[in-house]
Structure 1
């Protein structure tokens, strides 16, 4: 699956992969924001609503400032992440910041199970020094969330431990000749390469591609010239998905209710 150019917010240019049909369940979407031209992103994402999902935003260069109706105000910079459990509803904005290398980051959407779609909204940011590293051969994995185990038995757990669907997200970095060997038992397992070329088992995955892997296989990553990727893992909800703009529910009646609640001002009622 290859990422496709798109725009969101106030004209922000992104590369997007999405599957609202359940093929990456519990994940729904992965956006890559990356440019050294401020005109591509400085419009940012002005105030907008969400219901029924979690978002995880991770920044490699530049930064993002978050504000929401709950009173949270936070800025994340290179290496930091922010997690938002939208539940019943949250209204927020995300405005980009730049550094000498421009802006480069990711936002993932995770679907909430039906039982949690109308739960209270919450927010958390995580700093880079809170994220443990799992070390390979000229390679490492930064654990944003979930538990990760190397084949030699070493294990780490990322600070974001409440991702929907027992979700786990890791950032793998391989130098030239690097090798990272992980044990996995997740039914949903996918790798998005965003720099270089990666050999996953016997398959080659290039930058801008997402590979969906088989359940429970040993995950052997190698790169001849160096590469970076995100690894996504989790347990599917196996529930119906209804999607409209920033809302993800289980049927269109619930989508219509979300639209009505947003119009009449009851959207964020807890």
Structure 2
């Protein structure tokens, strides 16, 4: 039987926005797009110089962004007039689709800023829909609590818990699994073709293989996941069905062809991106 792990990767140091230091886990030389996931960044620092400049106004077209905070506070403002602050345990979802300009800026001057930003592709048929945005505090997430672990359902559904973010065409699932020392649990497969697990705290045993903080593994679609922890640990599970369409990316624009990218740039330069 094939092993559940089909690849092991580590992110690379990167900077984005106005110089925010982060780790790029997906969309780096060792791990390109993992259809439908375009990018995964982890930002984690208690040095305000690493994050205080934030992500000033910038455009997007053609995909969805999802920001999930473990610690700290980040404010969102966009060209559609939306504003909100995502705090620890909360998630923010933005469908850029045909176009939006937004800023994400820290709402703190010191302390730990820790979280993720995920870029999720949209199929061609949905890339030019109207933009949308929503903010979900921690109490809006689905939650499964047991004696020595908890599962926070950010997107999709797992067991009887439903996350606030839904992209049913891709069967998108995002779980934050938090384990106490000596925890054991089994995560059943939902059979999505793309399935990834990232260790953001501690270390875990996954079907007998030891994984350290900062490791991302690709998983096969079928096997259930046997997780064990000897210490406090946290992992994020991402799963989704590939879109299977060409990906043409230029910075903050992700379309299906270079011609569509050129059109996005023209629309942005002409002030039409958010029309």
TM-score normalized with structure 2 length: 0.92
Structure 1 residue runs of 5 or longer lacking an equivalent are 150-154
Q: Match for residue 19 of structure 1?
A: 27
Q: Match for residue 252 of structure 1?
A: 258
Give yes or no for contact 1:22–1:241 (8 Å, CA) kept in 2: no
Give the alignment's Cα RMSD to 1 decimal.
1.6
Counterpart secondary structure, 2:129: coil
Q: Match for residue 3 of structure 1?
A: 11
Q: Match for residue 202 of structure 1?
A: 208
1:224 is displaced (CA, Å) by 1.3
1:100 is displaced (CA, Å) by 6.7
* 2:8 paired with 1:34: no
Provide closer, same or farther for how the CA distance between residues 99 and 146 of structure 1 changes in structure 2, counting only shifts above 3 A.
Answer: farther
Provide closer, same or farther for how the CA distance between residues 247 and 175 of structure 1 changes in structure 2, counting only shifts above 3 A.
Answer: same
Counterpart secondary structure, 2:80: coil
What are the superposed Cα offsets for residues 56-79 of structure 1, whole Å, 9 maximum, x if unpaired?
Answer: 101111111000010001011111
Counterpart secondary structure, 2:10: coil
Q: Match for residue 180 of structure 1?
A: 185
Which consecutive aligned stretches of 4+ in structure 1 deviate over 6 angstroms post-superposition?
A: none
1:164 is displaced (CA, Å) by 6.2
Give yes or no for contact 1:112–1:164 (8 Å, CA) kept in 2: no
Give yes or no for contact 1:22–1:238 (8 Å, CA) kept in 2: no
Q: Match for residue 74 of structure 1?
A: 84
Provide closer, same or farther for how the CA distance between residues 32 and 40 of structure 1 changes in structure 2, counting only shifts above 3 A.
Answer: same
Counterpart secondary structure, 1:43: coil
Q: Match for residue 62 of structure 2?
A: 52
Q: Match for residue 104 of structure 2?
A: 94
1:61 is aligned, of 63, 67, 71, to 71
Give yes or no for contact 2:187–2:225 (8 Å, CA) kept in 1: yes
Q: Match for residue 132 of structure 1?
A: 142
1:226 is displaced (CA, Å) by 2.3
- Deviates most, 63-72 or 124-133: 124-133
* 2:172 paired with 1:167: yes
| Alignment size in residue pairs | 264
1:98 is displaced (CA, Å) by 3.0
Instruction: Tell me the distance in 1 between the aligned counterparts of 2:201 and 2:148.
Output: 16
Q: Match for residue 142 of structure 1?
A: 152
Give yes or no for contact 2:22–2:44 (8 Å, CA) kept in 1: yes
Give yes or no for contact 2:33–2:39 (8 Å, CA) kept in 1: no
1:268 is displaced (CA, Å) by 1.2
Counterpart secondary structure, 1:193: strand
Structure 2 residue runs of 5 or longer lacking an equivalent are 1-8
1:6 is displaced (CA, Å) by 0.2
Give yes or no for contact 1:26–1:164 (8 Å, CA) kept in 2: no
Give yes or no for contact 2:47–2:110 (8 Å, CA) kept in 1: no
* 2:233 paired with 1:223: no
* 2:95 paired with 1:85: yes
Q: Match for residue 152 of structure 1?
A: none
